[in-house]
């Protein structure tokens, strides 16, 4: 130990050594802060990516549920339309059956009226025959006598005088009954046609309203789906762009932190260290290097 000599003139002073230690400590602290910042950015990006994936899965699931509900609603609407069509067809069928029954009843009524008129005529004919049974033989004799002598039958003239107005009255009554029946049939047909036209117009109006309603719902559903897809695309594009931008910044920071050639301006300004030009060294100076290098030649790597 006594044989080793130390040249105290080449040793740096205490102030220089303290300054070098302070520089080394500041560099180490800045390096640690930079590594913490890198780790924070990595953790933030990982968390953001997980959140984006979770949101995408939730959005996809919600979209599938909405599509399923839309399909179910369309099927329900189709079933409702089919049910309404069946009800309308049943109503039309019932109406046609009712009209056929009315026609049948009217025909039966007309037949009854004709039969009553025929029975009335037969009864009048019988009454007329019963009214003059005794004078039938005398009438035949008179008719033969007047026929042989070329004269005129008095009974025939009297009968013609009585039967003429009565036959005219019967014909007039039959004509009036026929006209009344025709007017009644025409009125019934007009009422039936008016009712049919009104029902057809009502059915057409209901069908048109249903079609307009279905078309409006379809347009609203397409508009909502389009806006939702557009919103999802915008929402997906924004986090992706931010992730790419921050991923680029993170790569620059990692390269800078791993190589150790420079520090961020914000970190250096916070520590109060003046930034120097980077030196081509691969590692930070240690204590032995600082002790061997002359004062004023120490550079920050």
What is the distance between the alpha carbons of residues 284 and 260, in angstroms, rounded to a whole number? 8
Angle CA 283–286–289, to nearest 5:
105
In this structure, what token pair is assigned to residue 272?
């109060």
- With pLDDT > 90 as the criterion, what percentage of the chain qualifies? 30
Domain that holds residue 207: 14-292
298 inside domain: no
219 inside domain: yes
121 inside domain: yes
Which range (49-53, 111-115, 285-289) has the least confidence?
285-289
Kindly report whether the global pTM for this prediction surpasses the value 0.85: no
8 inside domain: no
Question: Residues of 233-269 as b/e, b for ≥16 C-beta within 10 angstroms?
Answer: eeeeeeeeeeeeeeeeebeebeeebeebebbbeebbe
Residue 298 confidence (pLDDT)? 42
Angle between helices 154-259 and 135-149 (to 10 degrees): 110
Burial of 273 (0-12, 13-18, 19+ CB in 10 A): middle
**What is the domain count for the chain?**
1
Higher local confidence (pLDDT), 275 or 68: 68
**Could you tell me if 17 and 293 are in contact, meaning their C-beta atoms sit under 8 angstroms apart?**
no
Residue 54 confidence (pLDDT)? 94
192 inside domain: yes
Classify residue 261 by its DSSP letter.
Answer: S
301 inside domain: no
In this predicted model, what pLDDT tens digit does every residue of 142-200 receive, in sequence order?
Answer: 555 544 544 444 455 555 555 666 777 777 788 888 888 888 888 888 888 888 888 88
300 inside domain: no
6 inside domain: no
In this predicted model, what pLDDT tens digit does every residue of 239-248 receive, in sequence order?
Answer: 555 555 544 4
């Amino acid at each position: 130990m006594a044989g080793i000599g130390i040249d105290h003139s080449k040793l740096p002073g205490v102030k220089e050594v303290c300054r070098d230690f302070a520089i080394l400590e500041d560099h180490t602290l800045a390096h640690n802060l930079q590594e913490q910042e890198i780790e924070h950015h990595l953790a933030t990006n990982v968390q953001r990516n997980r959140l984006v994936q979770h949101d995408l899965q939730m959005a996809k699931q919600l979209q599938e549920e909405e599509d399923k509900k839309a399909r179910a609603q369309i099927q329900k609407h189709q079933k409702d339309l089919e049910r309404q069509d069946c009800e309308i067809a049943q109503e039309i069928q019932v109406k046609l059956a009712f009209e056929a029954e009315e026609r049948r009843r009217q025909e039966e009524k007309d037949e009854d009226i004709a039969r009553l008129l025929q029975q009335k005529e037969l009864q009048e004919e019988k009454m007329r025959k019963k009214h003059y049974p005794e004078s039938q033989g005398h009438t035949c004799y008179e008719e033969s006598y007047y026929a042989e002598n070329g004269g005129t039958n008095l009974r025939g003239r009297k009968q013609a005088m009585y039967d003429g107005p009565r036959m005219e009255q019967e014909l007039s009554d039959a004509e009036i009954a026929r006209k009344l029946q025709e007017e009644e049939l025409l009125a019934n047909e007009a009422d039936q046609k008016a009712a049919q036209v009104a029902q057809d117009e009502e059915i057409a109006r209901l069908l048109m309203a249903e079609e307009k309603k279905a078309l409006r719902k379809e347009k609203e559903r397409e508009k909502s789906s389009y806006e939702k897809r557009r919103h999802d695309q915008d929402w997906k594009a924004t986090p992706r762009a931010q992730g790419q931008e921050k991923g680029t910044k993170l790569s620059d920071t990692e390269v800078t932190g791993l190589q150790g050639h420079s520090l961020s301006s914000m970190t250096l300004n916070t520590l109060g260290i003046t930034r120097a030009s980077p030196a081509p060294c691969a590692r930070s100076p240690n204590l032995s290097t600082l002790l061997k290098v002359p004062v004023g030649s120490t550079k920050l790597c």
